[in-house]
């Protein structure tokens, strides 16, 4: 059974940093592009970042470029999102999502984690 | 960026009704269009991929159609468990973008 479990969310002050993790199991993690998608309270879904299976292709939304960094450790079946210079508008539930198509940055999100809430507030 | 516009933004229907949601892309995205269902407090769930393909395990009352810029999502006979918010999403170009969502309620 495919499982994605996020952790690392919490309350952080504006300008602060946080690192999210996503532990994957039940599939060959090293074969799939992985993504972060976020959802601000009461709002819609926003794609944040994607990383290909071998980390060769990395993409970030313009809204987080230069502040967020996606990475992965295939030996640990883990995905990460390092978030720096956090702003109030980054407050959201952050989901990790598996790409079901085995090409870089395809965009078919077939499995999602339960989400991790990040709150940026003073 | 490709803008995805869903309509309506909310709708209320009775059990057994046929429900239709439309999604329009700001440019041609071929069939690179997915539909997701999100129930309150839960993660989104993939229902339809590549505009018209039913994800494994999803009930056959859900369907999708369209290509290019206009797409349709249909529930043939609404069930109580179908309440939630539905999103279309394009993956023709980066950045991947979602529609604003359609909130579905039972009358």
pLDDT digits (tens, 9 = 90+) for A27-70: 999 999 999 999 999 999 999 999 999 999 999 999 999 999 99
Per-residue confidence (pLDDT) for residue B13, from 0 to 100: 97
- The reply to whether A2 touches chain B by the CB within 8 Å rule is no
- The reply to whether B35 touches chain A by the CB within 8 Å rule is no
- The reply to whether B54 touches chain A by the CB within 8 Å rule is no
- Taken as a whole, chain A contains a residue count of 122
C-alpha distances in angstroms, A73 versus A21, A24, A79, B60, B100?
10, 11, 7, 38, 33
Cβ atoms of A50 and A99 closer than 8 Å: yes
Q: What is the mean pLDDT of residues B19-25?
A: 98
Per-residue confidence (pLDDT) for residue A106, from 0 to 100: 84
Per-residue confidence (pLDDT) for residue A102, from 0 to 100: 79
Residues in B closer than 8 angstroms to A103, CB to CB, are none
Q: What is the mean pLDDT of residues B28-42?
A: 97
Residues in A closer than 8 angstroms to B48, CB to CB, are none
Residues in A closer than 8 angstroms to B99, CB to CB, are 44
Per-residue confidence (pLDDT) for residue A104, from 0 to 100: 73
CA distance to partner chain A, nearest, from residue B63 (Å)? 17
Of A93, A91, A87, A77, the closest CA to residue A37 belongs to: A93
Per-residue confidence (pLDDT) for residue B64, from 0 to 100: 98
pLDDT tens per residue, range A108-119: 999 999 999 999
Chain A 30-59, residues with CB within 8 Å of chain B CB atoms: 35, 37, 44-47, 50, 59
């Amino acid at each position: 059974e495919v499982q994605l479990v996020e952790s690392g969310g919490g309350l952080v002050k504006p300008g602060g940093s946080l690192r999210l993790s996503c532990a994957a199991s039940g599939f060959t993690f090293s074969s799939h592009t992985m993504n972060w998608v976020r959802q601000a309270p009461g709002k819609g879904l926003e794609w944040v970042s994607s990383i290909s299976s071998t980390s060769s292709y990395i993409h970030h939304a313009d809204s987080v470029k230069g502040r967020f960094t996606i990475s992965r450790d295939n030996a640990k079946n883990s995905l990460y999102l390092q978030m720096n210079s956090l702003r109030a508008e980054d407050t959201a539930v952050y989901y990790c999502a598996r790409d079901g198509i085995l090409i870089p940055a395809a965009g078919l999100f077939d499995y999602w984690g339960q989400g991790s809430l990040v709150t940026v507030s003073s | 960026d490709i803008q995805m516009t869903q309509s309506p933004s909310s709708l209320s229907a009775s059990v057994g009704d046929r429900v239709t949601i439309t999604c329009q892309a700001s440019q041609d995205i071929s069939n690179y269009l997915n539909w997701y269902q999100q129930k309150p407090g839960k993660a989104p769930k993939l229902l339809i991929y590549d505009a018209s393909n039913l994800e494994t395990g999803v009930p056959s009352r859900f369907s999708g159609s369209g290509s290019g810029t206009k797409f349709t999502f249909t529930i043939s006979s609404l069930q109580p468990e179908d309440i939630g918010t539905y999103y279309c999403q394009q993956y023709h170009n980066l950045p991947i973008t979602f529609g604003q969502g359609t909130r579905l309620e039972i009358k």
